[in-house]
Amino acid sequence: MAKRSHEDAVPLDESKEARREAKRLKKEKAKQAEATTGEIPVSNGDSNGGPVEVEAKGQAELSKEERKVLKRAKKEHEKAGAATESVAAATGDAAAKAERKALKQAEKAARKVAETSQAPAVAATGGAEKPAANGSASTASGYREDAALAALPQSEIDAFVAEKQLAIEDPQKQLYRPITSFKYLPVDEAQRAPFAGFSAPTPIQAACWPYLLAGRDIVGVAETGSGKTLAFGVPCVRYIAGLEKNARKGIKACIMSPTRELACQIRDQLVKVAEPAGVKVTVVYGGRSKDEQRATLRGTHVVVATPGRLNDFVQEGSIDLSGVVYMVLDEADRMLDTGFEQDIRKIISATAPTGRQTLMFTATWPPSVRDLADTFMKQPVKVTIGDNASGELRANVRIVQEVEVTEQHLKQARLIELLKQYQSGKNKNDRILVFCLYKKEATRIEEFIHRRGFNVAGIHGDLNQQKRIESLEAFKNGSVPLLVATDVAARGLDIPAVKVVINVTFPLTVEDYVHRIGRTGRAGQDGRAITFFTDAEKGLAGGLMNVLKAANQPVPEELMKYGTTVKKKGHDAYGAFYKDTGDMKKATKITFD
C-alpha cells in the first residue's frame, strides 16, 4: 500500500464523502484548465492511493514541475530583455505549452533587441539588406542603413561625396551611403557619449562605418588628425557589445600601433566608447613591467598593443588571440615596414583562422606596402579622403608649410629665433613641437634650448618609458609648452593645439614628414610647420615638392635647385626598389542611384 503522509490521510468513515469531493474538485479543475489553456488535463490517477491521495499528490507534483518550467521560461524571457509575464497555472501539458510559448516570446524579444540596436530596415540603394561580404566574417552585424539616411535625396549624398572628396573603391560594389550624421549611426545611446562635442562624423568615419558594420575589410586613407581612431573604434565596440554574454568571453579585437604612446592614446580614446558599453580595453607595450600588464589582461575584449610586446605575450601563452576577429593596423604603412612585418605576421597567424575582419588605417599609403597589405585582407574596400583617389602622399591642407633651405651650422640660431617669434607675448605658452632625426641630436637640441631659457621637455627612445610618459603629459597639459622629439612622436599623437611644428632635421622619408607636421592642424584646426632642409636631404626634395604643391603651398626657389626626382623607397623584403604599383586601379567616386 502506498505510504501516506499525515496531510494526505483520510479517516476511513469519511472516505466516501472524500471521494465524492475529490471527483468534484477534479472536474472543476479540468474545466478551469480547459478555460485557461484550451487543453484537456490528463489525470495521472493512482488507484492505490485513492482519489484524494491521487488528487493531492498529483497537484503537488504538477505545481512543482510547473514551477520549474515557468522559472526556466521566465529566465529565458528575462534574458532576452522582455518584460516578465505571469503564466497561468495549468497541468503538465499546459505547462509545456506555456514553456514553448515563453521560449518563443523570448526568441522574439531577443530578435527585437538585436533589431532595435540597429537602424530600421531600409537599405539605401534598393531596399534590400546587404549581406556581410567577406564570407564568414562573424563581425558582420547585418548593417542596415537608417531609414532617414536612405530617404535623403540622392543630390544631398552626391554633394557630401563631392565636398568631402570621398572616394570609395569596392570590389564588391556594395555602395553604402556615407553616415553623414551621428543620428544615422546604428549604435546604442551608451556608445554615443564621445560624440557629444562633435557636430558630425568626419569624412573617414562617415565613409567607413557602414562597410565596417557590414563586416568588410578596409584600407582607410585620410589626412592626419581626421578622426581615424573612432572610424575603426566605433564598429569594434558595437560588434563586441552586440555579442551574447557567453560569446563575449576572451579577446575579440586587436589594435596594433607602432609606438607605445600612440597605443596608450588609442586605448584612452576607445575607452570612452567602450566603457559605457561594458567592453574592456587593455593596452600592452614595451618598456613596462610584463607582470603588471599581464594582470590587467583579465576580462579584456580589446587589446591595443605595440607588436613586440604583444608577440612576446602570444609566444609565452599569456594572451590568446584565437578569438580575434577584428584586427586593426593603425599607421598601417609603418606597421608593414620591415621592422614590424615579422611580428605582425606572427600575430595575425595567431588570430581566428576564419572570419577575421582586417582594417588598415593611415594618412600615408606608399605603393611599397600596398601589395603586402593585400596579403592580409579579403577584397578590402579602399576609402580615400581628399583629392587623392589613388592614395598619393598628401599633407593636411590646413597646415601652412614653410621650407627653409639652410646649412647645418645655421640651424640652432635660427631655431632660437623661431621659438622667440612663436612663443612670445600672448603666445608665450603656445605649444611648439620640435623634431630631430636622431636620439642624440634630440638630447643635444633639448639641452641647447633649455640653456637658452626655454621651458622644454624631450621624448625619444633613449629615455625610459616613465620619462617619456612624463614629458608627453607635461606637454599635453601645458605645463611645458615646448617638446623636442624624434619620430617616436611623429605618428598618431593627438596633442591639443600644437601651434607650430619645427623640423630641425628632415626625416628619412617624406611620409614621415607628412606625419610629423600632422601633429598640428588637427580636428579641423589650422597649423604651421617650418622645416629646415639641407643638401644632405636633397634626395627627398622631389617628394617634398610634390607634397607642397598638392597642398597649394609655395615651393621655395632654393628647393627647386635639387630637381624633382622622387627617390623610391627601398624595401628589405622586396629589394632596393619597390615594385611601383602605379598601375593600381584608379578609385572611382561612387554615385548612388
Ligand X SMILES: Nc1ncnc2c1ncn2[C@@H]1O[C@H](COP(=O)(O)OP(=O)(O)OP(=O)(O)O)[C@@H](O)[C@H]1O
Select the residue interacting with ligand X from 58, 178, 201, 210 (CB under 6 A): 201
- Residues in contact with 518: Cβ distance below 8 Å, sequence separation at least 6, in sequence order: 223, 224, 225, 363, 395, 396, 399
Please report how close the Cβ of residue 301 comes to ligand X at its closest, in angstroms. Answer: 20
Select the residue interacting with ligand X from 37, 118, 141, 224 (CB under 6 A): 224
Which whole-number Å values give the CA distances from 137 to 213, 237, 355, in the listed order?
A: 11, 16, 4
* Interaction residues for ligand X, span 537-576 (CB under 6 A): none
Select the residue interacting with ligand X from 37, 229, 293, 388 (CB under 6 A): 229
Is residue 226 within the footprint of ligand X (CB under 6 A)? yes
Specify the residue, 370 or 516, whose C-beta has the smaller distance to ligand X: 516
User: For the window 475-504, what string marks contact with ligand X as x by the rule CB under 6 A?
Assistant: -----------------x-x----------
Select the residue interacting with ligand X from 50, 215, 225, 258 (CB under 6 A): 225
Are the C-beta atoms of residues 495 and 475 closer than 8 Å to each other? yes
- Count helices and strands in the chain by DSSP H and E runs: 19, 14
The three cell numbers of residue 62 are 504538477
Please report how close the Cβ of residue 223 comes to ligand X at its closest, in angstroms. Answer: 7
Is residue 391 within the footprint of ligand X (CB under 6 A)? no
- Residues in contact with 483: Cβ distance below 8 Å, sequence separation at least 6, in sequence order: 431, 432, 433, 434, 456, 457, 458, 459, 471, 472, 475, 489
Is residue 191 within the footprint of ligand X (CB under 6 A)? no
How many Å separate Cα 100 from the centre of its chain?
39
Q: Is 188 exposed, middle or buried (0-12, 13-18, 19+ CB in 10 A)?
A: middle
Is residue 380 within the footprint of ligand X (CB under 6 A)? no
Specify the residue, 215 or 518, whose C-beta has the smaller distance to ligand X: 518
Please report how close the Cβ of residue 440 comes to ligand X at its closest, in angstroms. Answer: 26
Are the C-beta atoms of residues 481 and 429 closer than 8 Å to each other? yes
Please report how close the Cβ of residue 456 comes to ligand X at its closest, in angstroms. Answer: 23
Is residue 70 within the footprint of ligand X (CB under 6 A)? no
Exposure string of 263-293, with b = 16+ CB inside 10 Å and e = fewer, is bbbbbebbbbbbebbebbbbbbbbebeeeeb
Specify the residue, 224 or 531, whose C-beta has the smaller distance to ligand X: 224
Distance CA 365, CA 352 (A): 26
Is residue 228 within the footprint of ligand X (CB under 6 A)? yes
Amino acid making up residue 217 = D
Please report how close the Cβ of residue 522 comes to ligand X at its closest, in angstroms. Answer: 5
Please report how close the Cβ of residue 335 comes to ligand X at its closest, in angstroms. Answer: 12
User: For the window 514-543, what string marks contact with ligand X as x by the rule CB under 6 A?
Assistant: ----x---xx--------------------
Round to the nearest angstrom and report the end-to-end CA distance of the chain.
83
Is residue 180 within the footprint of ligand X (CB under 6 A)? no
Select the residue interacting with ligand X from 138, 139, 174, 202 (CB under 6 A): 202
Distance CA 217, CA 268 (A): 24
Q: Is 133 exposed, middle or buried (0-12, 13-18, 19+ CB in 10 A)?
A: buried
Q: Which residue stretch of 198-206, 277-285, 317-325, 368-376 sits at the interface with ligand X (rule: CB under 6 A)?
A: 198-206
Q: How many residues does the chain have?
A: 593
Chain residues that interact with ligand X, rule: CB under 6 A: 198, 201-202, 205, 224-230, 363, 492, 494, 518, 522-523
